[in-house]
Structures are given as structure tokens and as C-alpha cells.
Structure 1
Amino acid sequence: MSRTRRQNEALRGLLYEAGWGYGQFARSINAAGTRTGLSLRYDNSSVSHWLNDGTMPRQGTRDLILDVLSLRLRRPVTAADAGFGKPRLDDEGTDLITGLMDLARADMDPSRRSVLGAGLYSAAVVAVPGWQDVVGRIDMIKTNPSMRIGRREVESVIAMTELISGIDDQQGGRYARPMAATFLVNAIGPYLKAEAPDEVRKELLSAAADHCYLTGYMAMDERLDGLASRYYVKALELARIAGDELTFCTTLRGMSVMHGDLGDGPTASRLAQSASAASPKAGPRMRAFLAGQEAHAAAITGDRSLALLRIKQAEAAMEKAESQAKALGSYDPSALHYHISQVRYELGDMAGAIESMQQSHQIREPVFRRTRVRYGGMLAERKFKAGRFEEAFADWHRMLDEYPLIQSGRADDRFREMKTLIQPYLGNRGARELHERTMSVS
């Protein structure tokens, strides 16, 4: 450990704000270390040294401290905020970049490692403006790490993230995630290590955080929840260093969605509430986006009053947002109706859940094929459980029209659930026809 000559009043102030004593703080750090595979034994005396005699925690511990404080205070906490000095990538991000690159390399398909633009990846990236120039600059950065990058590189990361997101919407995470991991290793990693002006550095960290969040979301879509968690943590760390509240709270919300899907209502609710609190300056569409997830998570835990309150808030925010400009792919009325359906379903209102899911289906933008398949399967399941067999069979047939076109673990869940539900009813002609059709699909 290295030492300074002053007490850390900044860290002391954060502990006061968090409402933590020395022991609670130490236990939170130890628990965070355990989740990342570390066995830590910090205690009251460790915290006292950090605060009172100028002892600086080692780099890995500093990262954990910032993460636990960010989650506790529901906002990004930077190294400067905690009295660890001016946040520079060399100080705070070296281990993060190394860990992120190791994660992405392990996630890459081996056939994609040698050539940046192989196969589908190459076909996709030509849509990014100026891509050939970007590839050339990546090669230059690899051979000359001292080369400075600028906004062109930041724009290329943003453009690639948007492109991969579009592929994910149309074809599912299993197709798109290898591209995202490859781009992390071959472009974002070298960019993060290159020289850059401070403002460009901050923008790059934000763009990298957003790309990392998307990669985690696609891992979740494949039901690789452990992998998704690791990407999400990296996205939080990048967003925290960048001071990017938007990506920070979006990632917390994504983690809430994952835990809700796994049936862990209390964790989903805590993360959803943290996400809302982490973005106090959010516009109405983002407020609707966050409140909708809070409502669903509350409903999973059985908190009816909070769920209904948050849905009302989401509806009010959406009404205001729809009077403003909207970008394709942002939270929209279709997504809100999905959340209303989920709340109604969790609270026992099957008829209302079906009605809201149908409304969501009717107004969904056609580009979201993966969502259409997955939610179409959920709609059919609910109709089937409500005894509306013929409608359910029709919805399942529509799902099967597009199911072979996507690669999605969560869509696979819906396909398997359909087969399980109809199996006892094969004496019914509609169920039998559907079962026969699944034989050619599976």
C-alpha cells in the first residue's frame, strides 16, 4: 500500500452520506470481493487507516470501494469523489481494461479472433461510415500505442454499437454478441489504451460502457446470466469512471430485468430503485423506462401499491415523452404496455395481462423481430392458461413463422414452454397440428 500525508475527508463524507459505519463498509467491500472471486478480510481498522492516517487502498480495492459506494448512493462515484486523486485511466482503468479484454477474448468465437472483419462481421461493419479508415487507424494504434485518437474513433464505437443493436433486434443475441466481443477486443481495447484529450477520453469511456452494456444484454438474451453479470459490472465501472449517469442507470436497470427474469424479485426491485435514483436529471422517456421496470419488479415481490404507483408514473411520463421527438429503439408505448401486462400478470389479473400484451403487440415497430417472437409466445401462453385455446394456437403459429429466423435463448424458452403446455392436449386437433409443426422447426 502507498501512503499520503493527509486524512481522507472525501471518503469520510461518502461514508456519512451512505449511513455506514466502519464495519458495515468493510463488510460491503469484502462481499463485493467475494462476488468477483476474491477473499478479502478488511475490518474496522482497515477503514480507519484509509480515513485517518493517509493509507491509500491498493488499486483493486479502490475499484471495489467505488463500486459499492456507487450502488449504495445510487449514483456514479469517481476516484476524485472518494479522495483517491484525479481519475486518470492510467490510475483507475488499467486493470479494468485488462479484465474487460480478457472477458471479451474468452467470449469470442475462436474463428473470429484472427481477422477483424471476418464473415458476418465484415458484412455488417461496411454500414459504419468511414469504416475502412477506422480499420486502418486501429491497425496503426496496435503498432503505435502512443498515437492519439479523436472523436472519429468515438463515433465509430457509437456507430458499431448501434449497428450491432439493430442486428440483435432482428436476429437475436446469439448472432450479434460475437461481433460485439470482437469489436471490444480489436477496437475498443486499443482505443482505451491510446492517448486522447480528456474530453475525448470521457466520451470514449461512455461509448465503451454503452457497448459493454449491450454485450451483457445479449449474453442475458442467450440465458448466459453469469456472463451477462460480468459484462454489466464492467459497464458500470466504465460508466462510473466516465461520470456517465445515463449508462450507469441503464445498466442497473438491465441487471434488474435479468434478476426479475430469474424470479429474484427483491434483488430486481433493489436494482430498479437504484437505477431510478442514479439518474435524477432523466427526461420523461427515461423516467418512463425506469419506472416501468420498477413497477414490474415491485409486482414480482407482491408489492401491489408500489407497482401500481410506478405504472401510473410511467404512463404519465410516457404521455409527456410522446409529445416530444422520439428515436427509434427508445422506450415507447409498446414497451410500456408490455410492462403493464407484466404487472397485471404478477398481480393475478390474467385478462388484463392479455389485453395489455395484445396492445403492446399491435403497436410494436416491425424491426423488433426478436421481441415480437418472445412476447408473442408469452401472449399465447397466457391465452392458453386462460382457456382461450384457439387464439393461443393462432398466436403460436405466428411465433413459429419467425422463430427460425432468430437465435435467442429467451425465445428458445418460449418455444420449449409451448411444447410443454400443449403436450397433455394432443387429442385436440389444434394442439396436434401445432405439435406436428414443431417437429420440423426443432
Structure 2
Amino acid sequence: MAPKRAHPIANTALAAAIDQAGWTHAATAQHINAVAAENGARLYYDRSTVGHWLTGTVPRPEGISAAVEAFRRALRRPDLTTADLGWPGVASSTGAADDPWQGDVVARLRVLGEDDMLDRRTMLTAGAFSLAGLAAPPPVGPARASARRGGAGDVERIRAMTRHMGDLDDLYGGGHARRAAAAYLVHDVAPLLHGTAGRARPDLFRAAAELTYLAAYMAMDAGVQGLALRYYVQTVRLADEAGDRVLRATSLRSMAVQARELGHNREALALADAAASALGGRAPGRTVAWVTGMQAEAHAGVADRWDALALLRQTEAQLERVDSMPDSELVGNYRRESLEHQTGLALTALGDHAAAATHYAASMQTRRPAERRTRAVVGLRCAGAHLQAGDAERAAAAVLGLRQDLEGVVSARVRGELRQLRQGWQGCRSDAHVAEADALAASLLR
């Protein structure tokens, strides 16, 4: 039953949207806060806040953007505007005018990098994570340019920097050197893209796309989801400029990963299928397996057990036929331990937690020393699977075994896994091992 109101409802449009969504006032606030969290910001709205909005108070810009996106998802109305929520004349940057698929790709890349390196709070007011941004248009041919400014030496320099920053990301997480990558994009890479013509142009755009892809992954790992999505979109567009179908597929596949981690399972499946379609079967075998594995995980996310397991078997067969070394492929660097991790994710989605824990553990066994962040994430997921299977002590042991990796990583995904574990074993903290692991988690989250 709705609470008795001391003041009459002035915003009837918002009241109608809440009613259509089937939300309480508290649930409305929770959904809006969750959208904000996807974009690296914290809003602390509650039922009383929503009550104030209904009586005529207008939220701050970041609250409006988060509210619009939350109701778009709930009502399946990507065209919903601020006016539909009773805030006519109030600008919202989540509309078509800010469509990341439109406009000059280099200009958008500059703005993204500047927002990132200067830590501008535009992820909610100008770059919220939006399901509308997950719909990729058909690929386009590379545009013509009028002057040549970049060459083979620039391409190699960009790729060397991408490899170096990728190594830092593996060791320390996306929260470590993300702004350095952004600054390099803005000051060194973007100026080369405008006006470059000739044979070097596709390679230059390809190298820029690879660095932008890394920036997207780092932003996602750091929890700045709106920014990450926009980086991914520009990666797809840069890949199209280079005429690189494999890099386009790689970006779409990683957008599927992001959608899955945020709980947008149907969108994740559509993106994984789009990645496979972009490859068209013409790609290095390891990359094909990488995309097929994501399709398996996405099918598991929508509870399609038969297809998920069939695709996992197909992925394993594809990986067994691969003859290239993993390190020879900058993107789609898929190995046996990667498949074990993906199998664990698929089984987790299907509710087979004990089996998932076995695969997560297998993924951990052969991880390279440099993969500190990945070991931390996979190890915590292994702990979570043990906990879901009812074995809190093994979950605690898994966390304690990760102490060295956890203390060196700056990652929002790691923090998220730690929070879930702390919530999950609340009733088991009398156990000495659980208490020790919980104390470690608490210290890492402070």
C-alpha cells in the first residue's frame, strides 16, 4: 500500500511511469541509484526523494539522466524523454543527440579521452551507460582523407604503447593507468587520425582502435561503465574505418561481456551474435573460439542451457584445432584457462555452482604471473561459487589464497566481488577462516 501523502501529486507523468513500471517509491530510487553506479557515480536517493519529485521537485542533472535511462529499461522505451517523466524543458543528454554511433569519430575520441584524463563528471550528464548505445549499425567503408600525417613509424609506436599499457592493466587493474592511456589518445593518437591518407591510413586507424579498445576495457574494469561503452562504440567505428572485421567483432564481443556483467542478458546475446556475424568465419581460429565462448556464456545468461553447453563444446573443439601462439594475437588472446573461466561463468549463470567452482579453479592453475588482476577476479568468482554451493570455508580459503594479488590491484570488479562475498557469508562469520577472510575483504574495501 502506498503511503498517505501530505502533499498532492504535482508530477502526474512521473507517477504514471512509476505505476507502469510496477515499482514502489523505494524501488524507483534503487533502480535509479543502480544506473548511476554503472557510470561510476554514487546517488543515494530513497523513497522520500521520489516523494519530493512527485510533489514538484526537479532532480539534479545526473539524477535526471539516471532516471531517464532507468525508465527506458523498465518500460522498454528507448525513445522516452525527460518530458515523459514530467520534466519538460529540462535537458537530458541520454537522447539521440548524444548517439555515440553518430558524428565525427575522431572528435568523439578526443572528447572521451579528455573527459577520462581530466576526470570530468560527464559519465552521467553526457555519457551514461545506455542500452541504446548497445545497438551497432552496419559497418561502413573507410572515409577518404585529404592529407597524409601519419606513417608506419607512428603505427608501431602506438602499438608498442598499447602493449605496455596492457601489461600494466594485467598487473594492477583498470584503475591504475587509465588516464595515462586517455592522455596518450588525446595528445598523440587523435591528432594523427585527421587528414591521414595513403597506405598507412588503415593501419593507423587499426592501431588507434586497439588502444581505444584497451581504454574501454580499463574503464569497464574501473567501474566507469558509461565511458567504457562509449570507448567500445568508437572502437567499432575506428575498426570500420580501417576495414578490419576482426577488430569490429572483438569490440562487439567485449560489449557483450560488459552487458552480461551489468545484467543485460538479452542485449549481451545480441552483441555476441553480432560479433560472430562480423567474423563471418574468416578470422584466426583462436579469435573464432573466443567469440563462440562468449556466445555460450550469453546463452547461459538467458537460461538457454542446451545451446550454452553445445556452444561450450564447440568452443573447446575450436580451441583444440588452433595452431597459433596466443601472444601473436593482440585481441582474441584466448587460451585454455580462458575457456575454463568462461565455462565457470556459463555454469554460474545456469546455477551449477559446484561445477563452476571446479572450472574457475582450473582457470587459476596455469595463469601467468603477470595476470594478477585476472587471477584476482577469477579467484573471487571461484570463492563466490563455493559460497553459492554452500561451502563457506572453501570460499574463505580461496580469498585468503589471493591475498598478495588482491593487495596490488585497483579494480571495481574486484571490489564488487568482495562486496558480494561479504554479504553472502554474513551468517558464517563465527567460523575462524571466514572471519579472517572477511577481515581481509573489509580492509581492501576501505
Q: Name the TM-score, length of structure 1 as normaliser.
A: 0.69
- Tell me the equivalent position of 2:85: none
CA gap 1:192/1:320 in 2 versus in 1, 3 angstroms: same
Given the alignment of the two structures, is residue 108 of structure 1 paired with residue 113 of structure 2, yes or no?
no
CA gap 1:425/1:208 in 2 versus in 1, 3 angstroms: same
SS at match of 1:198: coil
CA gap 1:262/1:429 in 2 versus in 1, 3 angstroms: same
C-alpha contact (below 8 Å) 1:150/1:197 kept by paired residues: no
Instruction: Name the CA distance, whole Å, in 1 between partners of 2:306 and 2:277.
Output: 19
Instruction: Name the CA distance, whole Å, in 1 between partners of 2:342 and 2:107.
Output: 38
- Tell me the equivalent position of 2:395: 392
Structure 1: which amino acid aligns with 2:382? L
Q: 1:434 aligns with which of 430, 433, 437?
A: 437
CA gap 1:438/1:283 in 2 versus in 1, 3 angstroms: closer
C-alpha contact (below 8 Å) 2:381/2:417 kept by paired residues: yes
Which structure features the higher share of helix residues? 1
- Tell me the equivalent position of 1:133: none
CA gap 1:61/1:340 in 2 versus in 1, 3 angstroms: closer
Q: Percent identity?
A: 32
CA gap 1:436/1:62 in 2 versus in 1, 3 angstroms: closer
CA gap 1:435/1:326 in 2 versus in 1, 3 angstroms: closer
Instruction: Name the CA distance, whole Å, in 2 between partners of 1:214 and 1:404.
Output: 23
Given the alignment of the two structures, is residue 307 of structure 1 paired with residue 303 of structure 2, yes or no?
no
How far did residue 434 of structure 1 move? Answer: 2.3
How far did residue 346 of structure 1 move? Answer: 1.8
CA gap 1:200/1:431 in 2 versus in 1, 3 angstroms: same
Given the alignment of the two structures, is residue 298 of structure 1 paired with residue 305 of structure 2, yes or no?
no
How far did residue 435 of structure 1 move? Answer: 2.8
Structure 2: which amino acid aligns with 1:167? L
- Tell me the equivalent position of 1:351: 354
Instruction: Name the CA distance, whole Å, in 2 between partners of 1:152 and 1:270.
Output: 38
C-alpha contact (below 8 Å) 2:296/2:311 kept by paired residues: yes
Residues 16-415 of structure 1 correspond to what in structure 2 (within 5 A)? 37-39=94-96, 64=102, 95-109=104-118, 148-193=149-194, 195-280=195-280, 281-321=282-322, 323-327=323-327, 330-415=333-418
How far did residue 265 of structure 1 move? Answer: 1.0
| Comparing 282-291 and 388-397, the one that deviates more | 388-397
Deviations 1:328-368 (A, max 9, x none): 77110000011111222222222221111111111222211
Instruction: Name the CA distance, whole Å, in 1 between partners of 2:303 and 2:232.
Output: 27
What CA RMSD, in Å, does the superposition of the two structures yield over aligned residues?
A: 2.8
How far did residue 106 of structure 1 move? Answer: 1.2
Q: Name the TM-score, length of structure 2 as normaliser.
A: 0.69
- Tell me the equivalent position of 1:52: none
How far did residue 62 of structure 1 move? Answer: 13
Deviations 1:202-258 (A, max 9, x none): 111111111111111111111211111111111111111111111100000010000
**Any stretches of 5+ residues in structure 2 without a counterpart?**
1-77, 83-91, 121-145
Deviations 1:243-292 (A, max 9, x none): 11111000000100000011111100000000011012112101110000
SS at match of 1:173: coil
Instruction: Name the CA distance, whole Å, in 1 between partners of 2:95 and 2:436.
Output: 53
C-alpha contact (below 8 Å) 2:213/2:251 kept by paired residues: yes
Instruction: Name the CA distance, whole Å, in 2 between partners of 1:61 and 1:432.
Output: 48
C-alpha contact (below 8 Å) 2:100/2:233 kept by paired residues: no
